[in-house]
Amino acid sequence: MQPRRIARELALLSISQMPNSPERLDTQQLNNLVLAAVRTLTGEIQEALETAAAELKRGSDRILESETRATDVRSARA
């Protein structure tokens, strides 16, 4: 993810959790909001990485399968 996109995501996740009046927001609440937003994004990123790893594995398996089934080098490249 791009840094700006992450900042926007954090802001959107945090805004809905903030009290109506900014005066009531203390430092601990702000830290908790940011921590919750970061944890949410971390989970989302972990899921994206797992999906990408599975896709890479499938692609690698397909390449290996096509290479082992090929009768010659030219057909393996196709």
Q: What is the pLDDT of residue 60?
A: 94
Model confidence over 41-63: pLDDT tens digits?
A: 888 889 889 999 999 999 999 98
* DSSP secondary structure string for all residues of 12-43: HHHHTTS-SSGGG--HHHHHHHHHHHHHHHHH
Comparison of pLDDT for 38 and 72, the residue scoring more: 38
Mean pLDDT (the chain, rounded): 81
Would you say the pTM of this structure is higher than 0.75?
A: no
Position 18 scores a pLDDT of 76
Which one, of 42, 49, 31, 41, lies nearest residue 9 by Cα? 41
